[in-house]
């Protein structure tokens, strides 16, 4: 239900993260859905806020070489993500008082996560069927949850970016595979759908990433054979 809080909401922190994640279409669509739902459908905002945090946690855990179970509830998933992130710089790792204060702050975020889950279960638009005439919450509550999700996502990625893991998994970025892409494009006809034309390499990358990886391995054309990746892109993997 829209009310006096009608200004368009923007996920500022999460959009900063998205700029460092080329090809993360799923997160981009979640951002757009949440931004639109805040003033139009509070219940949907609760659903998408929870899903967005889940997506980010699973992405970061996979980037850090962790196996992620689809059965984990979000509070546990969030704790596991924190456990795999460095939260203080080396210069302050021995500062017990600072660590204690940060632990309390993160405990507050876990409480926020639990609240988001409960709101989604009770008031979510898409999660459970409800009485046809139930009155939804307003954009005031939706905005609270959306801003909380934005802050949490930005914090997680900031820690992921600035403090390297011991065994990060390198996400494959299409634009970094110039040599392989050119090889595929030269060996295959362009893909035409009505008046639209697509590069064969891009189609393969988007439709069957595993086959794209297998071709890369068989031809030994990984990004390591090319110029060093743009640090602004690759740094998010650390």
Of 82-91, 109-118, 141-150, 152-161, the poorest mean pLDDT is in 82-91
CATH architecture designation of domain 12-162: Up-down Bundle (1.20)
pLDDT digits (tens, 9 = 90+) for 206-237: 888 778 877 887 787 654 444 343 333 333 33
CA atoms of 72 and 90, how far apart (whole Å): 31
- Percent of the chain exceeding pLDDT 90 equals 46
pLDDT grade for 5, boundaries at 50, 70 and 90 = very low
More confident residue, 173 or 74: 74
Cα distances from 84 to residues 98, 150, 227, in angstroms, run 19, 20, 30
What is the pTM (predicted TM-score) of this model? 0.66
pLDDT digits (tens, 9 = 90+) for 112-138: 999 999 999 988 887 666 766 566 788
- pLDDT score for 141: 94
Question: Which one, of 154, 77, 74, lies nearest residue 116 by Cα?
Answer: 74
Could you state, in order of their start, the residue ranges of all structural domains in the chain?
12-162, 174-237
């Amino acid at each position: 239900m829209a009310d006096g809080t009608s200004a368009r909401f923007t996920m500022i922190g999460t959009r900063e993260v998205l700029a460092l994640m080329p090809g993360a279409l799923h997160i981009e669509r979640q951002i757009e859905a949440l931004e639109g739902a805040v003033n139009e459908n509070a219940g949907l905002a609760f659903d998408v806020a929870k899903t967005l945090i889940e997506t980010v946690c699973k992405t970061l855990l996979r980037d850090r070489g962790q196996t992620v179970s689809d059965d984990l509830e979000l509070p546990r998933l969030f704790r596991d993500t924190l456990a795999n992130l460095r939260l203080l710089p080396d210069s302050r790792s021995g500062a017990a008082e600072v660590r204690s204060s940060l632990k309390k702050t993160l405990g507050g975020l876990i409480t926020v996560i639990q609240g988001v889950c409960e709101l989604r279960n009770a008031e979510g638009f898409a999660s459970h069927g409800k009485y046809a005439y139930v009155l939804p919450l307003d954009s005031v509550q939706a905005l609270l949850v959306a801003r909380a999700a934005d802050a949490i996502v930005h914090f997680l990625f900031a820690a992921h970016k600035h403090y390297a893991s011991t065994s990060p998994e390198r996400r494959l970025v299409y634009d970094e595979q110039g040599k392989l892409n050119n090889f595929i494009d030269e060996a295959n006809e362009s893909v035409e759908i009505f008046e639209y034309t697509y590069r064969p390499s891009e189609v393969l990358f988007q439709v069957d990433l595993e086959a794209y990886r297998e071709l890369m391995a068989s031809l030994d054309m990984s990004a390591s054979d090319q110029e060093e990746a743009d640090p602004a892109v690759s740094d998010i993997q650390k």
